[in-house]
Amino acid sequence: MPTVVPLILAGGAGTRLWPLSRELFPKQFHALFGENSLLQDTLLRASAAATTAPIIVCNDNHRFLVAEQCRAIGVDWLSLMLEPEGRNTAPAIALAAHRALEEDENAVLLFLPSDHLVPDVNAFAEAAAKAVSAAEQGRLVTFGVRPTRPETGYGYIQVDGEGDGAVPVTSFVEKPDAARAQQYLDSGNYLWNSGMYALGAASYLRELERLRPEIASAVSQAYTDGSNDLDFFRPGEAFRTAPSESIDYAVMEETDKASVVAVQFAWNDVGSWSAIWDESSRDESGNHLDGDVVAVDTRDSYVLAQNRLVSTIGVNDVVVVETADAVLVAAKDRVQDVKAVVGQLKSDGREEYVSHSEVFRPWGSYETVDDGERYQVKRIKVKPGASLSLQMHHHRSEHWIVVRGTAEVVCGEDVHLLSENEGIYIPLGSNHRLSNPGKLMLELIEVQVGSYLGEDDIVRFEDVYGRSS
């Protein structure tokens, strides 16, 4: 048995699941099914087939989210690698391969996207063992899923029959049109390309060097220049120069070492609201109703009410997603167009694309609950033991009122300890720092008053999280 290192790529934006999924809190971090997020389920699933802690690659913006979700399920990591920008899968896997080789020159990477749904962990582990075994012998192994419908949204893998383990890939084929998808389904010789792989770290780097030397050398340089910052690994600047290519395009479609394991387990890439409806529990009217929903004569619909009452009357096959700052009402067969809406919000520079109203920070979170012409009200949560940066604002004063837990407040030269129902005033221009010295979550209400209330009116003097702005 070789060293099997899970590699979880948590870099996606999950655009098609807006308004639940946001740039700063995308799909993989949401608990769409049950208590765990897709990322957490993926980490637990991977551990069933692995011999080490995972390598996780994610966007720099998501590092504290990933760390928090790992801690919540008791999963440690071998390395948490931060991409300064997404460069697609080929460079990310190469980065992880260098790290895996430090563990074992024969290490096999078990590469899993963080946002797929695979409910049967045992069946997954069984298939993974077959894939790892072929990878150990130098094959680059993908997981192929037996098609159940003429899906036009996936790439396909052509095979010449299936063995019990990995078999050579005949060819990779692009997303087909409907007629071709039906042919593939009927022929029995095509599998869906699931985007999961077992790869010998050394074999992968060798093939990448041969087929895409510019990716291989950029990543190699970035790995060498990389640095550890708190719990995180940051690759060197060269990473940004690696061509942005997928493993399929850069390696799998060109190598003669491609194999595939046909898997028997249920798999869903949860790529749209209709996919979520497919996988969710439903009542006798075919509805999945989550939250405070009053549905009258509603059928085959998905309704998620996160913040307030949602009532539906006389509608069928719709998706209604209600969040604190946005509501989506879409025909279920048109949910792919959510992407178009998000594109429009992005080009309009709107916040509803980037973040939820609750914004997560290493020390906790904040949410704007009210804003007016020259004031803003936020609910701030600070984790036990956590501390915000020592900071100062040029354009606003702040009133803090503790509503739960205990706060330690540095303001100018003074240190104050505040408990529930106590408040303090932070004048404009004062150096101040907020900490939670206690064992319970600290919650406070902040009322900001001033002529400019943007997040960028902040001067940071010291920050335990290494942030300068």
Instruction: Please give the residue ranges that form the binding site for a second copy (CB under 8 A).
Output: 19, 294, 296-297, 305, 308-315, 318, 320, 322, 324-331, 333-335, 337-338, 340-341, 344-345, 350, 352, 369-370, 372-375, 377, 379, 397, 399, 401, 403-404, 420-421, 423, 425, 443, 445, 447, 449-450
* Residue 92 or 328 having the CB closest to a second copy: 328
* Residue 193 or 312 having the CB closest to a second copy: 312
Please report how the helices 38-47 and 121-136 are oriented relative to each other, as an axis angle in degrees rounded to 10.
Answer: 60
* Residue 178 or 309 having the CB closest to a second copy: 309
Judge whether 233 and 78 are in contact, CB under 8 Å: no
- What is the nearest approach in angstroms of a second copy to the Cβ of residue 397? 5
* Residue 38 or 330 having the CB closest to a second copy: 330
Two structure tokens written together for 335: 């949910």
- What is the nearest approach in angstroms of a second copy to the Cβ of residue 277? 15
Rounded to whole angstroms, how far apart are CA atoms 82 and 210? 26
Judge whether 395 and 453 are in contact, CB under 8 Å: yes
Helix (H) or strand (E) holding 353: helix 351-354
Two structure tokens written together for 165: 């383990």
- Please choose, from the candidates 426, 431, 437, 435, the residue with its C-alpha nearest in 3D space to the C-alpha of residue 465: 435
* Residue 206 or 399 having the CB closest to a second copy: 399
Pairing outcome for strands 432-435 and 55-59: unpaired
- Please choose, from the candidates 65, 1, 83, 15, the residue with its C-alpha nearest in 3D space to the C-alpha of residue 339: 15
Kindly list the strands in the beta sheet with 442-450, ordered across the sheet, starting from the edge strand earlier in the chain: 358-361, 364-371, 375-382, 442-450, 396-404, 423-426
- What is the nearest approach in angstroms of a second copy to the Cβ of residue 169? 37
- What is the nearest approach in angstroms of a second copy to the Cβ of residue 309? 4
- What is the nearest approach in angstroms of a second copy to the Cβ of residue 352? 5
Helix (H) or strand (E) holding 258: strand 258-263
Judge whether 17 and 338 are in contact, CB under 8 Å: yes
- What is the nearest approach in angstroms of a second copy to the Cβ of residue 116? 24
- What is the nearest approach in angstroms of a second copy to the Cβ of residue 17? 13
Helix (H) or strand (E) holding 103: helix 89-103
Other beta carbons within 10 angstroms of residue 449's beta carbon come to: 15
- What is the nearest approach in angstroms of a second copy to the Cβ of residue 20? 13
| Amino acid letter, residue 245 | E
Two structure tokens written together for 317: 């096959």
The residues with which 432 forms a beta bridge, in sequence order, are 391, 411
* Residue 265 or 375 having the CB closest to a second copy: 375
- What is the nearest approach in angstroms of a second copy to the Cβ of residue 96? 37
- Alpha-helical regions (H) of 150-263: 178-187, 201-211, 213-225, 247
* Residue 41 or 352 having the CB closest to a second copy: 352
Rounded to whole angstroms, how far apart are CA atoms 130 and 141? 10
- What is the nearest approach in angstroms of a second copy to the Cβ of residue 334? 3
The residues with which 462 forms a beta bridge, in sequence order, are 390
* Residue 35 or 348 having the CB closest to a second copy: 348
Phi, psi of 253 (to 5 degrees): -75, -10
- What is the nearest approach in angstroms of a second copy to the Cβ of residue 428? 9
Rounded to whole angstroms, how far apart are CA atoms 190 and 170? 10
Judge whether 22 and 45 are in contact, CB under 8 Å: no
* Residue 3 or 397 having the CB closest to a second copy: 397
* Residue 1 or 296 having the CB closest to a second copy: 296
- Please choose, from the candidates 261, 259, 279, 258, the residue with its C-alpha nearest in 3D space to the C-alpha of residue 269: 279
- What is the nearest approach in angstroms of a second copy to the Cβ of residue 74? 27
* Residue 346 or 433 having the CB closest to a second copy: 346
Q: How far is CA 139 from the centre of its chain?
A: 28
* Residue 95 or 318 having the CB closest to a second copy: 318
| Amino acid letter, residue 464 | V
